[in-house]
Every structure is written in structure tokens, then in C-alpha cells.
């Protein structure tokens, strides 16, 4: 299964990365090398194998519905690159 340059460009859009033409070429090559290696998995018969999303057999881990103190607004915004009126500022979102 080969990944094309168009697919690489599409994946970059999904991943919200800006990549140059040169990088597209480079990524296409590198991702193909890795994916070619990953093709090894095709050898495996996995039809009736349960996929393992978790290694531990844990289930039903809950917290009780209790309120705990929040961050102060100052602490919440302390790392913000841009803020205004106690909110996080971003370039205008057009809907």
C-alpha cells in the first residue's frame, strides 16, 4: 500500500500542519518506507482476533459526582498566548 503525495498533503491538512512541497516529497518517501515495513502485518491471520485497546482488564472506573475547587481565572490564563476580558483570544472564527 503506497501513500501518494496527494494523500500526504491531505493528511497534513487533517493534522493541521503546513508543509512545503519539498517536505511533501520527503514525507511521502519516509512514510512509504515505514508503511512498507508495516505491511508485514498483512502476513498475520487476525480475522478472529479481538483487538486490544487496553492491556489491563479494567472497567467501570468512575469518580463520584462531586465538585472540587477550580483553577483561578488567573491560573487558567497564565499560560495563554493572548487573552482579553478573562477569555482566550484567537483570530476571528467565521461560521
Partner 1 sequence: MFAEMTVASALEMLGRRDISACELTAAALQRIKDTDEVIRAFVTLTEEKAMTAAEEADRQRTAGAAAGGLAGIPMALKDNISTRGIRTTCSSRMLHNFVPPYDAAVTELLGQSGAVLLGKTNLDEFAMGSSTEHSAFFPTRNPWDTERVAGGSSGGSAAAVAAGQALFALGSDTGGSIRQPAAFCGVVGMKPTYGRVSRYGLVAFASSLDQIGPLTRDVRDCAMVLSAIAVHDRRDSTSAAVETPDYTAFLEGGVRGIRIGVPREYFAAGIDQNVKNTVRQALRVLISLGAEAEEISLPHTEYGIPIYYLIAPAEASSNLARYDGVQYGFRAESDSLWEQFRKTRSQGFGAEVKRRIMLGTYALSSGYYDAHYLKALQARTLIKRDFDEAFARYDVLLTPTTPTAAFPVGAVEDPLTMYMNDICTIPVNLAGLPALSLPCGFICGLPVGMQLIGRPFDEGMLLRVAYAYEQHSGLQKERPQLPRQRGNSQ
Partner 2 sequence: MSSYETVIGLEVHVELATKSKIFCSCPTAFGKGANTQVCPVCLGFPGTLPVLNRRAVEYALKAALALNCRIPSFAKFDRKNYFYPDLPKAYQISQYDLPLAVEGYLEIGMEGKVKRIGITRVHLEEDAGKLIHSGYGDYSLADYNRTGVPLLEIVSEPDLRSPEEAKVYLEKLRSIIQYSGVSDVKMEEGSLRCDANISLRPAGSSAFGVRTEIKNMNSFKAVQRGLEYEVQRQGAALDAGRQVIQETRRWDEDRELTFPMRSKEEAHDYRYFPDPDLVPVIIDIDWVEAIRRSLPEMPDERRRRYVAELGLSEYDAAVLTASPSLADFFEAAAAACQEVKAAANWLMGDITRHLKAMGLEIRETKLTPSHLAELLKLQNEGTISGALAKTVLDEIFATGKRPGEIVSEKGLFQISDKAALGAIVDQIIAENPKSVDDYRGGKEKALGFLVGQVMRQSKGKANPELVNTLLRDRLG
- Which residues here bind partner 1, judged by CB under 8 A? 1, 3, 7-8, 11-12, 14-19, 27, 30-31, 33-35, 37-42, 44, 46, 49-56, 58, 61, 63, 71, 75-76, 78-82, 88, 90-93
Locus of grid cell 502485518: 41
**Interface residue with partner 2, options 37, 49, 66, 81 (CB under 8 A):** 66
Beta carbon nearer to partner 2, 43 or 55: 55
Closest separation in Å from C-beta 14 to partner 2 = 6
| DSSP bridge pairs for 83 | 88
CA gyration radius for the chain?
23
CB-neighbour burial class of residue 24 (10 A; exposed 0-12, middle 13-18, buried 19+): middle
Closest separation in Å from C-beta 44 to partner 1 = 5
For residue 59, state whether it binds partner 2 (rule: CB under 8 A). Answer: yes
Q: Which residues contact 9 (CB under 8 A, 6 or more apart)?
A: 19, 24
Amino acid at each position: 500500500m503506497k501513500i501518494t503525495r496527494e494523500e500526504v498533503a491531505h493528511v497534513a491538512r487533517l493534522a493541521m500542519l503546513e508543509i512545503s512541497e519539498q517536505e511533501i516529497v520527503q514525507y511521502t518517501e519516509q512514510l512509504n518506507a515505514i508503511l512498507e515495513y508495516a505491511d508485514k502485518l498483512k502476513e498475520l491471520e487476525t480475522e478472529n482476533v479481538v483487538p486490544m485497546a487496553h492491556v489491563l482488564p479494567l472497567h467501570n472506573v468512575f469518580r463520584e459526582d462531586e465538585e472540587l475547587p477550580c483553577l483561578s481565572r488567573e491560573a487558567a490564563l497564565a499560560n495563554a498566548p493572548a487573552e482579553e476580558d478573562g477569555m482566550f483570544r484567537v483570530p476571528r472564527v467565521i461560521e
